[in-house]
Amino acid sequence: MHRRDFLLGFSALTAGAAVLRPARALAAPRPVIEQGFRLVIDPGHGGENGGCRAHRGGVHEKQLTLMLAQSLAGRVVDLMPHAEVLLTREADETLHLTQRVGFANEVEADLFLSLHCNASRNGDQTGFETFLLDVKASSHDAALTAQRENDEGFGRPRDAGGDEVAVMLRELGMTNDRKHAAHYAAAIQREQARRFPNRVDRGVRLANFDVLMGARMPAVLHEVGFLDHEDESKLLLDEGGRGQIVEAIAQATLSYFNEVVRRG
């Protein structure tokens, strides 16, 4: 039985079992078995697709997203030993956007996080932001970011047309996943703002990201900072700076688990 089926079955059972004694009356003195939780982290870009570039030097977004994803995976498992964390890529591989979310669907992830670094037209923007999928972007900037991240040349089939709209509408109908994604996105922003009070909190935004489309679980895309900005690229290229960013996302993941998954 898949874990998800088990969980659904379990909550349906407990919901209807009002006459059962409280759980603590049944608890034996043995370790609590924590509820399973599977997180898929998607290091943005990779292989032929480098993403944006650092303000100075040859570092590409794809290298940073992989480093961030790997240390985040380790930190999440430290904090939540019951969690299973999988990466869409573990090396410098070219992955189509549809393969990323396809992988998360295949492994029946409970949560999907795509990690990216931002860039702006004049290299003068700063801050961190988290996106949810929506048909309409919440602002012109959000639309531009989505356009840049979507523009991998092989993101979606050229003749998608009507099917694509159908997929989007179906996704938008999944209100529980969207609500949960919004909760996770807010937690990430809150934890980043706590660690970086002097950086710009660009908030939770809506945009039409191909990489989130078709996800059958709560899915968000986090832009950790602007790699093309002088100060922010220094932060992102610094191991200590990345460590703080990772800690923020890991803590956000833990609160998501406690506030959303555990409470059902």
Query: Interface mask (CB under 5 A) for Zn ion, residues 130-169, using x and -?
Result: -------------------x--------------------
SS3 category, 219? strand
Which residues make Cβ contacts (< 8 Å) with residue 114, sequence separation at least 6?
A: 42, 44, 100, 209, 211, 212, 219, 220, 221, 222
180 vs 189, beta carbon nearer Zn ion: 189
In 3D space, the residue among 70, 5, 10, 37 whose CA is nearest the CA of residue 255 turns out to be 37
- How far, in whole angstroms, is CA 95 from its chain's centroid? 17
For residue 114, which of 153, 146, 157, 154 has the smallest C-alpha distance? 146
In this complex, which beta carbon is closest to Zn ion, that of residue 37 or of residue 112?
A: 112
Residue nearest to Zn ion (CB): 116
Tokens at 106, concatenated: 């295949």
Q: How far is the CB of 131 from Zn ion (least distance, A)?
A: 11
DSSP H or E stretch at residue 128:
strand 128-133
Say how far apart CA 134 and CA 150 lie, in whole Å.
Answer: 14
By CB under 5 A, the residues from 20 to 49 that bind Zn ion are: 44
Q: Of these, 43, 46, 51, 127, which contacts Zn ion (CB under 5 A)? A: 51
Report the residue number, 38 or 229, with the smaller CB distance to Zn ion. 229
Question: Of the two residues 38 and 89, which places its CB atom closer to Zn ion in the complex?
Answer: 89
Q: What gap in Å lies between CA 112 and CA 121, rounded to an integer?
A: 28
127 binds Zn ion (CB under 5 A): no
Tell the smallest beta-carbon distance from residue 127 to Zn ion (Å): 15
CB closer to Zn ion, 42 vs 149: 149
Q: Compute how many other C-beta atoms are within 10 angstroms of the C-beta atom of residue 104.
A: 28
Q: Please pick, from the candidates 55, 60, 116, 205, the single residue that binds Zn ion as defined by CB under 5 A.
A: 116
Three-class DSSP category at 224 = strand
Which range touches Zn ion (CB under 5 A), out of 50-58, 69-77, 85-93, 197-205? 50-58
- Least Å distance between CB 209 and Zn ion? 10
**Total residues at interface with Zn ion (CB under 5 A):** 4
Minimum Å distance from CB 218 to Zn ion?
Answer: 20
Residues at the contact surface with Zn ion, assessed by CB under 5 A: 44, 51, 116, 149
